[in-house]
């Protein structure tokens, strides 16, 4: 049972997230041979105020 976690900044539409899940699932199926029913995808959305690069929060840029 493959589990995939995608971490990304908030702001994507439901349609974008749906397409992401479909394509990630298909890639896992193609590379591992698992059936799509066995692939689990987690999307973790991060707030820009809780994410920083180079010592600066993205919400402050």
Q: Which active-site residues does the annotation give?
A: 2
Contacts (Cβ under 8 Å, ≥6 apart) of 44: 5, 6, 7, 8
């Amino acid at each position: 049972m493959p589990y995939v976690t995608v971490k990304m900044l908030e702001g994507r539409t439901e349609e974008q997230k749906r397409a992401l899940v479909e394509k990630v699932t298909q890639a896992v199926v193609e590379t591992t041979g698992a059936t799509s029913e066995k692939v689990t995808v987690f999307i973790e959305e991060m707030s820009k105020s809780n994410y920083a690069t180079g010592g600066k929060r993205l919400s402050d840029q």
